Amino acid sequence: MKTNQLVSGFLMCFIFFSLKGYSQDKKLPYCKNKDAAKELHAAFKTMHAQAKVANWKDNKTCKAKDLISKVDGSMKSVSMTEAIYTINKLYYSFQSPTTKDTFDKGFFTTMEDKGLYSYKKSKNFSDFVSEYTGKSIGDIQGKRTSSSGMEYKDIDVIRRYYNGLKSFFTTLDFNVKYDESVSDNCRRTVLSTIKVAKFSYPNITWEIKTRANVNCVCNNGLDKTEVKSGSFEYTATTSGVLTHPKVTFSQPKDSKITINSLVCCGEKQKDRPISSEPKTEDINNLMPDQYIGGGVGFGATQDFEEISYCFFAEYLKKITYGSDDYAWYAGIEAGYSGWSFNDSNSNRIKIGPKLQYHTALTPSKQTQFVAGIMGNYNFGTTDNGFSIDDVTGIVACAYGGVNIRICENWSVFGQFPVFIYESTTFKSESGGEFKTDGTSLLINKDNPLKLGVRFNF
């Protein structure tokens, strides 16, 4: 009898706790990979628990710990529900596109895995199409019509997929949690994010971050021990695997707290300089694959008696990959230039290759320093007032400049010559011929200051 009672008791306990766990799971939303959500949830929890202040000397009247304590644990913590939503967004970001034609998965189990591998292996969109589909861009002819009558070309769908992967791996922050509260005369905002730091299929390293901002009304007027405002962030890295069937997050490494700012009550704040640089939140690709551009230029002799002008167009193709901080471009430039002075005038066509380097000047990476070399072959005529000469020549130039991204697809730029070598041959209509060779520095009549716009694609 006692044995039966014990067995019944164990069965009741088992059923109770099983139903309790089932009930708790039922409260959670659907998740593509619940194990990944649990690991992401644990990674944020560990980072918040282990991180220590890394870069701050407490030489102010209010302390860093007072700033950190303004944000309680419930605001910082990432819930399982928030982790689940993040994993679902992550899966959606590399979901393979729907196309009319079907493509061979090769040795991969899913097209998503083939897409991840193909992106990592490719230098540009053309390479990606070849790796992902086994075909060239020109061979992708499929198209489908939706129930609403919209027509979708396979190549356009694949291009959007490629651009989405590029954003995913280079610029996209996944917002895990955002919270804000107002209490005790303080307003607090907290944002937790994850972002890809490094990827080599199937291995991935993530940067996880929780950033907090605090703004308070000082309770005791000028009590310098009180925190008026400040911001700080938790950061760490976590590695794992990124495939369609499996996403993992390891325990975080290098957890730390960085104090970005701290202002005490009664502390006199310095005026902050106002930046004239436009915001870049909507610019995903700061070093795009290709540019096409054009503009105008103006040059002059040293005494400014002779003024020249030009109109030009260019095409640039990115030849290095892997960074939004710098890039090399190769391309071609063609243009028309002319000048006139008294009874003399000249008209020339110029065309030649150029090699150009971009490197970020500002933290936003939107303003870029440009340096390059270019050469051109030019031909045209020069009218001296008493005879007309046919002109041919070559020019080699080292130049500098600036490129400013103003929106997702447009940039403005300026370019000025630094060192120029010229070799020009003049053939007079009367039959004579002579040649000039020389070097010069900076802007002159034949090498103008150029201003223009670029469109990237």
Residue 363 pLDDT: 77
Helix, strand or coil, per DSSP, at residue 22? helix
- CATH 2.40.160.20 domain residues, the chain: 290-456
Residue 21 pLDDT: 43
The amino acid that residue 437 corresponds to is D
Is the pLDDT score of 11 beyond 70?
Answer: no
Q: What angle do CA 237, 240, 243 make, to 5 degrees?
A: 135
Helix, strand or coil, per DSSP, at residue 411? strand
* Confidence at 18, pLDDT banded by 50, 70, 90: very low
Mean local confidence (pLDDT), 400-414? 90
Residue 284 pLDDT: 65
The amino acid that residue 349 corresponds to is I
- The DSSP result for 130-146, as a single string, is HHHHSS-GGG---EEE-
How far apart are the C-alpha atoms of 426 and 234, rounded to whole Å? 69
Note the pLDDT tens digit of each residue in 26-56.
466 677 788 999 999 999 999 999 999 987 8
**Residue ranges of the alpha helices (H) in 79-150?**
80-93, 111-121, 125-133
How far apart are the C-alpha atoms of 405 and 362, rounded to whole Å? 12
How far apart are the C-alpha atoms of 274 and 268, rounded to whole Å? 18
Please say whether the beta carbons of 303 and 186 come within 8 A: no
Mean pLDDT, rounded, of the chain = 83
Residue 283 pLDDT: 64
Question: Would you give the DSSP letter of residue 212?
Answer: E
How far apart are the C-alpha atoms of 320 and 371, rounded to whole Å? 15
CA distance to 169, 356, 445, per residue, from 409 (Å): 19, 19, 32
* Confidence at 221, pLDDT banded by 50, 70, 90: low
Lowest mean pLDDT among 8-12, 13-17, 67-71: 13-17
Is the pLDDT score of 101 beyond 70?
Answer: yes
Dihedral sign for Cα 405, 410, 412, 413, please. Answer: positive
Note the pLDDT tens digit of each residue in 360-377.
888 778 899 999 999 999
Lowest mean pLDDT among 37-46, 93-102, 145-154, 345-354: 145-154
Residue 28 pLDDT: 63
Mean local confidence (pLDDT), 307-320? 90
Lowest mean pLDDT among 62-76, 279-293, 433-447: 279-293
Best CA proximity match to 71, nearest among 267, 265, 257: 257
Residue 279 pLDDT: 47
pTM over 0.85: no
How far apart are the C-alpha atoms of 326 and 339, rounded to whole Å? 36
What percent of the chain lies above the pLDDT cut of 70? Answer: 87
Residue 55 pLDDT: 74
Helix axes 125-133 and 111-121, enclosed angle (nearest 10): 140
What percent of the chain lies above the pLDDT cut of 90? Answer: 34
Is the pLDDT score of 224 beyond 50?
Answer: yes
Helix, strand or coil, per DSSP, at residue 172? coil
Looking at domain 290-456, its CATH class is mainly beta
Dihedral sign for Cα 412, 418, 419, 425, please. Answer: positive
Note the pLDDT tens digit of each residue in 142-184.
888 877 777 888 888 888 889 888 888 887 788 888 888 888 8
Is the pLDDT score of 8 beyond 70?
Answer: no
Note the pLDDT tens digit of each residue in 297-311.
888 765 666 778 899
Dihedral sign for Cα 109, 112, 116, 121, please. Answer: positive
Mean local confidence (pLDDT), 62-90? 89
How far apart are the C-alpha atoms of 68 and 65, rounded to whole Å? 5
Residue 444 pLDDT: 72
Note the pLDDT tens digit of each residue in 255-304.
999 998 889 887 776 544 444 444 444 566 778 889 999 999 888 765 66
CA distance to 68, 224, 390, per residue, from 183 (Å): 15, 20, 81
Q: Which residue has the higher pLDDT, 78 or 99?
A: 78
Helix, strand or coil, per DSSP, at residue 309? strand
How far apart are the C-alpha atoms of 52 and 63, rounded to whole Å? 14
Mean local confidence (pLDDT), 127-150? 85
Question: Hey, which residues does 376 pair with through a beta bridge?
Answer: 395
Please say whether the beta carbons of 135 and 143 come within 8 A: no
Residue 331 pLDDT: 95
